[in-house]
Amino acid sequence: MIDIALMGIGKIALDQHVPAIAASPDFTLAATVSRHGSVPGAPGFTDIDSLLAAHDGIRVLSLCLPPVPRFDAAARAIRAGRHVMLEKPPGATLAECHALRRLAEAHRVCLFATWHSREADKVAAAKTWLADKRLRSLRVTWKEDVRRWHPGQDWIWEPGGMGVFDPGINALSIVTEILAHDIHLTSATLDVPENRQTPIGAELAFYHPEGAEVSAVFEWRQEGDQTWEIVAETDAGTLKLSDGGARLTVDGAAAPALDDDNPLSGEYPRLYAKMARLLARGGIDMDLRPMVHVSDALALGHRRRVAPFVE
C-alpha cells in the first residue's frame, strides 16, 4: 500500500476521491491538506509545506484544489520529490501545465493530469467502435444546473475558474479520447453574465481533418433533466454516449449496462488504479488537448453579455 495525501478537501474530494482511495488496493490516505476541510482518521495539515516537512514517507499527493492555486502546490510537491496527481483541469493556464511537466521531468517524479470522464463505463467501447468508421458529424450537448453541482463555489466565476468549461472540459476530454483524428476550434460564442468573469454558456465549432461537422453546446442554466450527451454520425451508423459516458447506444441498440445504481462510480477508482500503474513504470501522463480547446475558446470566443447570475 502506498501512502497518499489529499490536498483540497471540498465537494469533489469528499464525494469522489476519499471513497476511491478508501476502496483502492494500492493507496492509503495518510494525510490531508486543507484550510477548512478534514477526513476522519487522516491527520490534517493547513498548508503543504507543513505536510512535506512532517511526512517523508508520503510519496504521492493528489491535488483537488481549484485551478488557480494548484500550480504552486504542485510545484512545491515536485521540488520535494513527491509524485503528483492533478484533478481536472490540470491548471489554470497551458503555460503552467507545461512548466509542471518540465519540473517533473527534471526531478524524475510521476505527474498525472487526470480526466475522470474518460474513465466512464462506455468511453473505451465508444473509442473502439469509432476507430474504423468515417465520421460525418459529432455533436456534444452538455447541459446542467450550476446551482445543483457547484453550490457556493465562487472561484468558478473568477478568472481561471473556467465557468461552464469546468464541466464542459469533461466532454472535451471524452471527445479527444474517442476520435481517431485530432480536431481544433474554429469559432465560439460565450454567454457571460453581466456580474461574472467566466461564461455560463458556450457554443463551439471545430475543424475535422476529414470534413466532419463537429460542434458542442455547453450550458449551466439547465433546469430539470440534466444532459451529458455525445452523438457521432458515421458511415456505419450513429453512436450515442449519454449520462456522461456511462451509457452507449449504436443505432438505438444499447450496450449492456453495469449492475450499478451509479454507473459513473468507477471513474475515480480507475484513475487511482492508473496512478498506481504510472508509479510502477515511471513517467508522465499529461494530455493537454482538452485544455487546449478551452484555451482556444476563451481566446477566439465572441462574448455575449447575458443576465446576471445570482445563486
Q: Residue 214 belongs to a domain with what CATH number?
A: 3.30.360.10
Q: Which domain holds residue 85?
A: 2-113
60 and 101 part of one domain = yes
Residues 106 and 163 placed together within one structural domain of the fold: no
My answer on whether 139 and 70 are in the same domain is no
Q: Tell me the whole-structure pTM to 2 decimals.
A: 0.94
Q: Which of 88, 122, 143, 240 is catalytic?
A: 88
For residue 281, being part of any structural domain is answered with no
- Domain finish residue from 56, 89, 113: 113
CATH for 55:
3.40.50.720
Same domain, 166 and 300: yes
The answer to the question of residue 272 being in a domain is no
Q: Residues 204, 93: one domain?
A: no
186, 52: one domain: no
User: Residue 255's pLDDT is what?
Assistant: 77
Residues 132 and 236 in one domain: yes
Q: Which of 98, 113, 128 is the last residue of a domain?
A: 113
Q: Tell me: do 168 and 55 sit in the same domain.
A: no
Number of domains in the chain: 2
Residue 289 inside a domain? The answer is: no
User: Active site includes 88?
Assistant: yes
**What pLDDT, on the 0 to 100 scale, is given for residue 263?**
46
DSSP state of 145: B
* Helices of type H across 43-153: 48-54, 67-79, 94-107, 123-130, 146-149
Q: Give domain status of residue 278, yes or no.
A: no
* Separation CA 267–CA 120 (nearest Å): 5
pLDDT at res. 264: 47
| 216/166 same-domain check | yes
What was the pLDDT predicted at 162?
96
Q: In angstroms, rounded to a whole number, what is the distance separating the alpha carbons of residues 174 and 124? A: 9
Q: Per residue of the chain (311 residues), what is the pLDDT tens digit?
A: 999 999 999 989 999 999 999 999 999 999 999 998 899 999 999 999 999 999 999 999 999 999 999 999 999 999 999 999 999 999 999 999 999 999 999 999 999 999 999 999 999 999 999 999 999 999 999 999 999 999 989 999 999 999 999 999 999 999 999 999 999 999 999 999 999 999 999 999 999 999 999 999 999 999 999 999 999 999 999 999 999 999 999 999 987 655 455 544 699 999 999 999 999 999 999 999 999 999 999 999 999 999 999 98
Q: Which of 113, 139, 171 is the last residue of a domain?
A: 113
Residue 276 lies in a domain: no
| Separation of CA 117 from chain center | 7
**Residue 134 placed within a domain:** yes
Residue 91 located in a structural domain: yes
| Same-domain check for residues 137 and 76 | no
Shared domain for 198 and 226, answered yes or no, is yes
- Residue 262 CA to chain centroid, in angstroms? 18
Domain-embedded: residue 266? no
301 with 174, same domain?
yes
Rg of the chain over all Cα atoms, to the nearest angstrom: 19
Q: Which amino acid is at 193?
A: P
